């Protein structure tokens, strides 16, 4: 753990193992009530120090961390692979994106502004001036999932510190290594002691203590719907942003560039073994291109190399645990029992599942209505675009959706009618540049990330009115 600018232990530890083969990775401090208490006290001092810094000073601090992230990119990438089991080349991409997220936060820190209010626009405002400024909230509690532990942490830490707050971060118990290293780098860059604190340990215990602590002004959570609901129920008057799960749909229309669509859809379905909130879980291809799309898609899948996550050539490695792989396997079996046809993959060895393609998945299968979080996609066809849009919308989730078409009218018609937080035209739902507004509707969440948007949620608007 990293609290008040230095390492903290609780006397208890737990073991991390590489999900791919169960080999030993690290021993990690297991935080308890006392550790969280220490983190909140340290964060109170950190928040006071952060609030005294100017926007330019906060921005400079974040730029110094960007530079350290760059210097330590190889080590961070290795830590990411050891804790998640994701292929090393994917970890490098995440380490690089983490820098982009922090650069965007550093820029936003410099531009944080209020507005002039046209106060004399109503009779009562005559002879007055008014403006708003943004002030830090104080201490923000961040809870993050296992799949992109560094970049998703920075989507919270970056805007929180840019806005002059301190943060207490509880990473996933499975992936604490990159968070601890990140906090060390903030200290090395000169962040005030207590500005960024990491407490590792059990989600239900530490996470809930964080959610209930009265010193915490806001909880920013990324994770499952189930935990998101519990957090919302227990957060009282705290602000809450929730980045939750998805069940993303991709439409491939009759006039789509099929080579482009296939080259993007294959990684969109299977990278990180489908363990991203934006993984394509359902593809709707127009009936006139279904056969050509399917043939090219299955051929492109052949090139995916499955193996040890540290191998340079590996595209797909294990899921986060064997238990998760067994769950995904059982969802595939459930779909097959209900009438689906498995046309490729879906074989499990330990925690690894080969990328799987299903057809004719019925609406009542778990795979159709819930988030599988595994390397599995359901391939469907449509004849009328209205039906495809309806089908994409027909889930409790609404994170992002994608459509491949060369027809502007159809693209924008779909964009208006898809019930999601973001529509990606001529790319997969998983496209995300880290500065863009990002978040879901329906069960996919509340609020928006992307530093420019997150900083609005992480600061308080204050009105100043002068007579």
Contact residues toward ligand NAD (CB under 6 A) are 143-147, 152, 170-173, 203-204, 207-208, 211, 222-224, 227, 230-231, 243-246, 277, 371, 373, 399, 445
CB of 125 to ligand NAD, least distance (A): 41
Closer by beta carbon to ligand NAD, 173 or else 253? 173
CA atoms within 13 A on the CB side of 447: 25
CB of 298 to ligand NAD, least distance (A): 26
CB of 421 to ligand NAD, least distance (A): 9
CB of 175 to ligand NAD, least distance (A): 8
Cβ atoms < 10 Å from Cβ of 287: 11
CA–CA distance, 129 with 177 (Å, rounded to integer): 50
CB of 118 to ligand NAD, least distance (A): 37
CB of 204 to ligand NAD, least distance (A): 4
CB of 243 to ligand NAD, least distance (A): 3
Residue of 194, 236, 198 lying closest to 219 (CA atoms)? 236
Matching residue, tokens 């906090």 = 183
Report yes or no: 163 and 54 within 8 Å, Cβ to Cβ. Answer: no
Which phi and psi (to 5°) does residue 428 adopt?
-80, 160
Closer by beta carbon to ligand NAD, 204 or else 363? 204
Given the residues 30, 40, 277, 371, select the one marked as catalytic: 277
CA–CA distance, 421 with 439 (Å, rounded to integer): 6
Closer by beta carbon to ligand NAD, 93 or else 131? 93
Q: How many helices (H) and strands (E) does the chain have?
A: 15, 22
Closer by beta carbon to ligand NAD, 253 or else 449? 449
CA atoms within 13 A on the CB side of 254: 7
201 burial level (CB within 10 Å; 0-12, 13-18, 19+) = buried
345 burial level (CB within 10 Å; 0-12, 13-18, 19+) = buried
Closer by beta carbon to ligand NAD, 55 or else 435? 435
Matching residue, tokens 């989600």 = 203
Closer by beta carbon to ligand NAD, 224 or else 359? 224
CA–CA distance, 332 with 376 (Å, rounded to integer): 8
Is 40 part of the annotated catalytic residue set? no
Matching residue, tokens 């749909």 = 249
**DSSP-derived secondary structure letter, 396:** S
Report yes or no: 408 and 418 within 8 Å, Cβ to Cβ. Answer: no
Given the residues 243, 324, 449, 457, select the one marked as catalytic: 243
Closer by beta carbon to ligand NAD, 232 or else 308? 232
CA–CA distance, 459 with 411 (Å, rounded to integer): 36
Known catalytic residues?
243, 277
């Amino acid at each position: 753990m990293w609290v008040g600018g230095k390492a903290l232990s609780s006397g208890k530890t737990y073991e991390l193992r590489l999900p791919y083969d169960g080999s030993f990775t690290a021993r990690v401090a297991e935080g308890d009530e006392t550790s969280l208490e220490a983190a909140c006290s340290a964060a109170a001092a950190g928040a006071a120090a952060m609030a005294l810094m100017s926007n330019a000073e906060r921005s400079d601090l974040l730029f110094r961390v960007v530079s350290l992230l760059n210097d330590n990119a190889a080590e961070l990438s290795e830590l990411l692979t050891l804790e998640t089991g994701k292929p090393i080349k994917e970890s490098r991409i995440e380490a690089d994106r983490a820098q982009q997220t922090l650069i965007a936060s550093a820029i936003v820190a410099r531009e944080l502004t209020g507005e002039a209010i046209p106060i004399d626009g109503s009779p009562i405002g005559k002879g007055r001036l008014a403006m708003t400024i943004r002030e830090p909230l104080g201490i923000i509690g961040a809870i993050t999932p296992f799949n992109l532990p560094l970049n998703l942490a920075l989507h919270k830490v970056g805007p929180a510190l840019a806005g002059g707050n301190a943060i207490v971060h509880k990473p996933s118990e499975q992936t604490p290594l990159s968070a601890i290293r990140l906090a060390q780098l903030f200290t090395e860059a000169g962040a005030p002691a207590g500005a960024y604190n990491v407490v590792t340990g059990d989600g239900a215990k530490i996470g809930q203590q964080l959610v209930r602590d009265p010193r915490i002004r806001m909880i920013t959570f990324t994770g499952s719907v189930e935990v998101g609901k519990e957090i919302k129920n227990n957060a009282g008057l705290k602000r809450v942003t929730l980045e939750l799960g998805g069940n993303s749909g991709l439409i491939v229309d009759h006039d789509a560039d099929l080579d482009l669509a296939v080259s993007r859809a294959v990684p969109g379905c299977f990278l990180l073994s489908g363990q991203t909130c934006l993984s394509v879980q359902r593809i709707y291809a127009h009936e006139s291109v279904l056969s050509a799309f399917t043939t090219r898609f299955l051929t492109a899948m052949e090139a995916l190399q499955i193996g040890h996550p540290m191998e340079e050539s590996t595209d797909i490695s294990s899921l986060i645990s064997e238990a998760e792989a067994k769950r995904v396997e059982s969802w595939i079996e459930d779909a097959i029992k209900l009438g689906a046809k498995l046309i490729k993959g879906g074989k499990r060895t330990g925690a690894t599942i080969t990328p799987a393609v299903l057809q004719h998945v019925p609406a009542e299968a778990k795979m159709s209505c819930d988030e599988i979080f595994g390397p599995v996609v359901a391939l469907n066809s449509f004849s009328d675009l209205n039906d495809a849009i309806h089908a994409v919308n027909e889930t409790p989730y609404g994170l992002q959706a994608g459509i491949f078409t060369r027809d502007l009218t159809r693209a924008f018609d779909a964009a208006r009618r898809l019930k999601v937080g973001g529509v990606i035209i001529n790319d997969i739902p998983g496209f995300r540049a880290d500065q863009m507004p990002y978040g879901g509707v329906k069960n996919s969440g509340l609020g928006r990330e992307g530093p420019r948007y997150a900083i609005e949620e992480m600061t308080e608007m204050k009105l100043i009115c002068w007579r």
